Chains A and B, each alone.
Chain A
Amino acid sequence: MEPMIDIKTSVNGTTVSARVPARQTLVDFLRYHLELTGSHVGCEHGSCGACTIRLDGDIVRGCLVLAAQADGTEVETIEGLSDSGELADLQATFRTRNALQCGYCTPGMLLTAQALLADNPAPSRNEIREYLSGNYCRCTGYQAIVDAIESVATARRGVTS
């Protein structure tokens, strides 16, 4: 029997108690144990950003955090941030601007975009591109994503462009 560990964590506002393999990563815990499949796995070595989730308010790579390390923390995923409405304007603008195609990188992109705008409410296009530089997209070529984020940033600041 491989080593297991008991964890207690808040996921999207709900307290979860679970016994998980010590070696299980947080993104695998979310996907397999909680069946929250919105956070995606693309590389499992921290390079693609598809597994981006929020841990105690900070974006992190879900593949580079052990589920065990989530004990006592607050985890937020794309599902929770969708249902709370926090990402609503980003999601709506991504849709109208077609800032997603296959959708696989999209949850990671949305969480990263939200972190960017929290950090820097008026980013330049270059700043947007740099902040997204750890999120791999193969479909869009990035421009539509930059357009969408720039547009949301402007709208949130109440600026009429």
Chain B
Amino acid sequence: MSLLAPAVIAVRISWEKRRNRGDVFVKPAPFNYVKPSSVGDALSILGEHPDAVVLAGGQSLLPMLNMRLVAPSHVVDITGLPALNEISVADGWLRLGALLRHCDLAASQTVAEAAPLLQEAACHIGHPAIRNRGTIGGSLALADPAAELPACLLAIGGRIEIQGLDGKRVVEAATFFTGTFETVLKQGEILRAVEVPVLAAEYRSVFDELARRHGDYALAGLAALGRINNGNVRDLRLAFFAAGDKPALAVTAAQFLEGKTLSEANIDEAVTLIGDDIHPIGQPGCGEQTKLHHCGVLAKRALSRMAA
């Protein structure tokens, strides 16, 4: 369950669903601010105060606080926790600490080599000033359906390391995201790190999104990954975002293409199958039919690029 679920679904999608539609707050309600210096301390504070929220980069939390979409008793700043912004590769896995900023993800040579999809996606997140603060942990924990990184994680098949008072657990990306701004993170837990498998060289990734303006939340987006051998594609993952309540894989379309060439005809056929698994939720000015169509266009273009 999302740490923020008791309040309101975030600003962006649910402007109209805020508590009182006459509310025009821009200054937060009063809260206590604490900055623990160890994970243990952080967890006990979260345990003591069930309505506390975790602050990392703050690029999504601050707007919610400012607009009083959330009014926690405590804001727990975890940016002081040591060793949570690591980038390392070991045993075929790329490990990224939860506090790794988007700008550092975008600039990392290690990430460029081990998981180019993540790097390509990071450049699309917001604007430079946002990327200088926002973190991968924050993005995944928030689980905005229009966010880039959750879909990338789904496509790559990553896993998320969670720490609670009763210890560590690891959850696969496929089961981590459960709904609009909802994950399996429990109250009192902290997302600690993300790990993605370093895929073989034959894997090609394509990231694309359709947004009205550079840096906007996408109207529809796709993180695509597949293994290309002799013109055939295998193990294709088409992870769509901004097209449903959580990132989703177009499994039927991917299964159809398994072992086939990425010819125009095959791609066109696969595109017709996207709707079997992708069920967009419309937003004002962009309905579900438009979104589904956009997903199809993104898939066609991504698959054509993969074939090239």
A/B touching: CB–CB < 8 A: yes
B128-136, B258-266, B277-285: which lies at the interface: B128-136
| Interface residue from B62, B128, B215 paired with A63 (Cβ < 8 Å) | B62
Q: Which of B21-29, B41-49, B153-161 lines the interface with chain A?
A: B21-29
Other than A28-B27, A45-B26, A49-B129, give 19 A-B pairs with Cβ distance below 8 A: A3-B32, A21-B30, A22-B32, A22-B33, A23-B31, A44-B26, A44-B63, A49-B127, A52-B129, A55-B132, A58-B103, A64-B59, A65-B58, A65-B133, A66-B58, A66-B77, A68-B77, A69-B79, A112-B129
Give the total number of A-B pairs whose CB atoms are below 8 A apart. 98
Binding site for A on B (CB under 8 A): 11, 26-33, 35, 55, 58-59, 62-63, 65-67, 75, 77, 79, 103, 126-130, 132-133, 213-215
- How far does the alpha carbon of A49 sit from the alpha carbon of B11 in the complex, in Å? 18
B63 adjacent to A64 (CB under 8 Å): yes
Q: Nearest A residue to B63 by beta-carbon distance?
A: A45
> Which residue, of B59, B67, B103, B129, has the highest number of chain A Cβ atoms within 10 A?
B129
6 nearest A-B pairs in the assembled complex, by CB-CB distance: A134-B127, A22-B33, A2-B30, A45-B63, A44-B26, A58-B132
**Could you show 25 A-B contacts with beta carbons less than 8 Å apart?**
A3-B32, A22-B33, A23-B27, A25-B62, A25-B66, A44-B26, A44-B63, A45-B67, A49-B129, A58-B103, A58-B132, A60-B129, A60-B132, A63-B62, A66-B75, A68-B35, A69-B58, A69-B79, A71-B35, A112-B129, A130-B214, A133-B213, A134-B127, A134-B130, A135-B127
Q: Please, how many angstroms separate the alpha-carbon atoms of A5 and B74 in the complex?
A: 13
Given the contacts A45-B11, A46-B62, A59 and B128 also touching, CB distance less than 8 Å: yes
Would you call A22 and B30 a contact (CB within 8 A)?
Answer: yes
Main secondary structure of the interface of A (DSSP, over half): mixed
Interface residues on A, range: 35 or more
Chain A residues with Cβ below 8 Å from B30 are 2-3, 21-23
